[in-house]
Structure 1
Amino acid sequence: MLLNVSYNDKKIRERIDAEVGKPFTLKERFQLGGIGSPKLEITEASAEIRNLLILDNNADCCNIELRPKGIILGFRSLLESYALIIPFYKLTIYKGDLAIYSIYRDHYFVKVKSDTKAVQKFFKKLLNYKADNAPTSFEDL
């Protein structure tokens, strides 16, 4: 689900926490070696996300936050902050040619460059965490 998270709205925060879990504690963040990605350059996106990104002339970039049951892909457009909330059971990641990662949820997608070792290391951590913690059946949801 694509949400405007510019304002501190309790209902939106509860929807995000229900979908991907509450944020990690400080201890868990240290154990994981960090939960945030480096700055990711967006090369392509689905129509709804692209329509938001073309509203301003800034560079199209995003970041990813790891949560216990999914990820939050965040980006800015004009003065607003948006988040694409993706639980692990709906998350699909492909590594394409020319060092591009494609991140999918239903009909939303974002393609980002993976031109540095830090980005590749983060995606490796993300995929390993997903493999270890994704639900294995519908009862786990």
Structure 2
Amino acid sequence: MLVNVSYNNKEITKKIDEAVGKPFTLKERWAMGGIGSPKLFITESSVEIRNLLILDNNRDSCNIELRPKGIILRFRSLLETFALIIPYYKLTVYKGDLAIYSVYRDNHFVKVQADTKAVQKFFRKMLDYKADNAPTSIEDL
């Protein structure tokens, strides 16, 4: 689900919370050592996301927020903020050549550079959390 989250819209917030869960509490964030990624530079993306990113001349970047049942990948275009909502059961991550991570949800994807240890550490944390908390059967959804 690709949505514009620039404005405080209760319907969109409700859909996001249903898909990936409510944000972690401050205590949980502290215990996890943080839930946000460092700044990630986008090298490639799906057509729909690319069409949003080419509207401005800034360097394409994004960040990822962990949630209890999924992740939110946020990026900016012009003065708008967009979010790709990915539940863990739809999340697929590939590590490619030259330190590139690919994050997929159905027909949307974003490829980001993993050129620092902090980025690699965050992806390891995200994949470990997914492995521990992703649903194991259809009843868990």
Fold match by TM threshold 0.5: yes
Which consecutive segments of 4 or more residues in structure 1 shift more than 6 A?
Answer: none
Partner-residue secondary structure (3-state), 1:101: strand
Partner-residue secondary structure (3-state), 1:42: strand
| Residue 27 in structure 1 maps to residue 27 in structure 2 | yes
Give the match for residue 3 of structure 2: 3
CA distance in 2, matches of 1:8, 1:61: 22
The two structures, once aligned, show a CA RMSD in angstroms of 0.2
CA distance in 1, matches of 2:61, 2:27: 28
| CA shift for structure 1 position 60 | 0.1
| Residue 66 in structure 1 maps to residue 60 in structure 2 | no
Give the match for residue 127 of structure 2: 127
| CA shift for structure 1 position 14 | 0.2
| CA shift for structure 1 position 103 | 0.2
Equivalent pairs, count:
141
CA distance in 1, matches of 2:112, 2:84: 14
Give the match for residue 76 of structure 1: 76
| CA shift for structure 1 position 128 | 0.3
Give the match for residue 113 of structure 1: 113
Partner-residue secondary structure (3-state), 1:64: strand
CA distance in 1, matches of 2:89, 2:127: 12
CA distance in 2, matches of 1:106, 1:128: 21
CA distance in 1, matches of 2:108, 2:80: 19
Partner-residue secondary structure (3-state), 2:127: helix
CA distance in 1, matches of 2:56, 2:109: 20
Partner-residue secondary structure (3-state), 1:18: helix
Deviations 1:20-72 (A, max 9, x none): 00000000001100000000000000000000000000010000000000000
Give the match for residue 49 of structure 2: 49
| CA shift for structure 1 position 84 | 0.0
Partner-residue secondary structure (3-state), 1:58: coil
